[in-house]
Amino acid sequence: MKIRVLVTLKAGVLDPQGKAIHHALEGLGFAGVNDVRAGKLIELDVADGVTDEMVEEMCRKLLANTVIENFRIERPEPAA
Amino acid sequence: MKSAVVVFPGSNCDRDMAEALRIVGGEAPAMVWHRESELPAGIDLIAIPGGFSYGDYLRSGAMAAQSPVMRAVKAAAERGVFVLGVCNGFQVLTEAQLLPGALMRNAGISFVCRDVGLTVENSQSAFTARYARGETITVPVAHHDGNYQADAATLDRLEGEGRVAFRYAGEVNGSARGIAGILNETGNVLGMMPHPERALEPAHGRTDGRRLFEGLIEGILQPA
């Protein structure tokens, strides 16, 4: 099963990379971009027995630094 | 005095750190590879050097903080063994939660590599005993992720408890409250972005870093 972990900087934490990307977009002439925040997308291919709690623990222990980052776990939509 | 320098894949200031400890302490430190799960018996001081451990993958210091040797470093720190983390070593110590906060990308994006002025904020610690409070010293920095951040409550607590050891005298990397180096609660762990081991001898062009090692080693050899 493929799980996606989205790691983003917490609100209020300065994001120099996002700022640089924003600046570059403006330099390319794209108007109307109010703000840019850069994060990380980590894809995990896990066995069926891996629980939500285990993935959360992976995020807290390694994938995100919760001092400055938030994480969101996305599981695939159950097949209809 | 028994010291050790931890070496990760990608460490690149390990030999400079070892030389500093050898020159000031009179004895060469043990070089301990990251896969080791034990430190030499009777260790007094552990140095976590600068560099780019594990290529800075995921976050600076994140992978190194999970390596076997860091479990031994944590246990030693809890016993009161002195731990000095410089540059990437500071990043590793925050990721290992031996020190609070986090080191983020420099606010100006660029890698900063130059001499900086540091104000000594606390001269009561073993690491800063040879400095005077309020003194400004000159030590080089060389980092991309030196922007120290923590929540306001943590910053207030660090300041209130005298755990800010060094502050940048001018703007360097966007660090909250200009913090360049902090101590743990018990004062036996110091993390700092500037490199005292690169300011040791006249040939380095500056010698202000030497007193950090002198004070620390003296404190270990002759505890107050």
Q: How many CB atoms lie within 10 A of CB B170?
A: 8
pLDDT of residue A14: 86
- What is the number of structural domains in chain A? 1
* Per-residue pLDDT reduced to its tens digit, B111-149: 999 999 999 999 999 999 999 999 999 999 999 999 999
| B224 pLDDT tier (thresholds 50, 70, 90) | low
In a domain, A30, yes or no: yes
A65 has a chain B CB within 8 A of its CB: yes
Long-range CB pairs of B19-24 (<8 Å, 24+ gap) are: B19/B197, B19/B200, B20/B196, B20/B197, B20/B200, B20/B209, B20/B210, B20/B213, B21/B45, B21/B47, B21/B213, B21/B217, B23/B200, B23/B201, B24/B200, B24/B210, B24/B213, B24/B214, B24/B217
Catalytic machinery residues of B:
87, 195, 197
Distance CA B30, CA B41 (A): 11
Residue A29, domain extent = 2-74
pLDDT of residue A73: 96
Distance CA B188, CA B184 (A): 7
Which residues 75-104 in chain B show a CB within 8 A of chain A?
94-95, 100-102, 104
Q: Which two tokens stand for residue B111?
A: 């890698």
pLDDT of residue A50: 93
pLDDT of residue B75: 98
Distance CA B14, CA B88 (A): 11
Give the residue from B63, B143, B129 showing the smallest Cα distance to B95.
B63
Q: Which CATH class is domain B3-221?
A: alpha beta
pLDDT of residue A45: 96
Q: Which residue has the tokens 């990437």?
A: B88
* Per-residue pLDDT reduced to its tens digit, A2-59: 999 999 999 888 898 899 999 999 999 999 999 999 999 999 999 999 999 999 999 9
* Per-residue pLDDT reduced to its tens digit, B37-92: 999 999 999 999 999 999 999 999 999 999 999 999 999 999 999 999 999 999 99
Q: What is the separation of C-alpha A35 from the centre of its chain, rounded to a whole number of angstroms?
A: 16
Supply the Cα-derived Rg of chain A in whole angstroms. 16
Which residues 14-53 in chain A show a CB within 8 A of chain B?
14, 16-17, 19-20
**β partners of residue B149:** B102
Q: How many CB atoms lie within 10 A of CB A49?
A: 7
**β partners of residue A3:** A44
The domain segmentation of chain B, as residue ranges, is 3-221
In a domain, A80, yes or no: no
Q: The CATH number of the domain where A45 resides is what?
A: 3.30.1280.10
* Per-residue pLDDT reduced to its tens digit, B3-31: 999 999 999 999 999 999 999 999 999 99
In a domain, A9, yes or no: yes
Nearest CA in chain A to B149: A68
